[in-house]
Structure 1
């Protein structure tokens, strides 16, 4: 007897997900941000050239495209791939959204990930060895930035819970602290010593174990692009986008709440939890609406970015905490 698939409330049929090939009009201002007088029409070829020059064959390329997990669908079209490739926060390289060219300096092989802290036995593992121990799948997720823009992405990866299981944390561990690479020789933003490098984020063990918490290794049916956080990044779709750490090199299990990069930088604006709530404004702007990247569409922001049914229970008893931006 076939298994019965219980779709969550936010899931709609596959017809709701527009194929990648359908072009969405790019926001001209986003393309020009930080690019001076460079024409938007010239940007994509430049990036393609940089990728051809700087890349070596990705040994994981044969794993893509992965099978889609039909339990994770969308209420909106998938954002056009070029829009996603050309609009990224990656302060390690620069503070604009136009980081794609500079991010090609990132060397993703060899790439070693450390698992340490309150675990049975600390260890290190190469990204390709890690991929041999998990099964990749594709999921359609929404992404909501605290800056009030949003996108919808076909991520490929595996549940963060799988890595937690490999790590074998001690029962006293309450949090997982995640850390990005630090290499100022290739990442000019890291030469700015007033920023709290390396980039750090944290989740509770319960959040990390939620089925929606996803470690990303690919997007759009191929290995994830460098400017999007290759070779390993986080996707937690019920949180604001600054809780989406890129290019992860370390997972540390601890009993102390980690201080994230953004919290260390500006605690009055960015807290630990960073859950999406349209009723709680950022100190400088409203969160009630979001602008869909690549279109002129404005949508009402949804509580927990539309994933409340799956994650609201994580925060029971924490009502006095600063759970939002």
Structure 2
């Protein structure tokens, strides 16, 4: 909002007056100087948010173009890259610049002062909306953005139930259930699960979908065949090796994302296990690598570009002063069947003997 009764644009002096400090201290706080006490910096940032202060110096003229910021922890993920494609397309259509940001350190981002400083930096860069991609511990950032009047949308929320959050995700539960039902229809009864972090809402929903399909078919999920860990190839390979060399291995393995599934395929190959003759494998996401694995991966398709586009649309709606029709949007998923799944191996095969011999 404007600072004075005349409706004029807030000035540096207005911020100083509200914060109870000098103009020089305000300038130092906004420029990230380390000679400003934390409590003082927080008062300045609170005044900036209250007055909707925007710099009017010559240097600030460089930031007159509007931008969308995308913030994440792990930029190398194929999943992140596909969502970014959608965000870039939507931002381009809206004549917005796109800036990418690594989130503040995991411990630091939980601190209110750090979050407010980070949000203030984005505003000073011309950012009019922020999309967080599977971002851990985002609550302080969400709150700081809301206080500053900057829209913040989470894509695939990880570990937050923040009431101020707007999110875009996929129907993770339904997608995993469809993949499990596919394996059950192929005759698999001993199905293992390699999931993502327990703190991840998406990972939990996928696990619940798997459980729902097993329960509906009258099958029991063996706890010995369940793993929860990070979303990466090495993790999938490690857990798959352990499961496939156990005394009673699964005939199918469901992975909670494609990277985990790639690790499963690698472990099976190293052990001499044929996919899909001896083992069926499914993933989740349908990233570009899924069609190029050997064999091509059966996986749950998420409209990742659509999630990115939807996030930008929500940001623009909020920036215009209107809340989206729904604070939490889920896009439909579908199962893409490829060569990594097949009929369950006949009872009595000597697949485990082969595994034991190859792993010596």
Asked if Structure 1 and Structure 2 have the same fold, meaning a TM-score greater than 0.5 normalized by the shorter chain, the answer is no
Length-normalised TM-score, structure 2: 0.20
Greater length-normalized contact order (CA 8 Å, ≥ 6 residues apart): 1
Which protein shows a greater Rg? 2
Normalized per residue, which structure has more helix? Answer: 2
Q: TM-score, normalised by structure 1?
A: 0.22
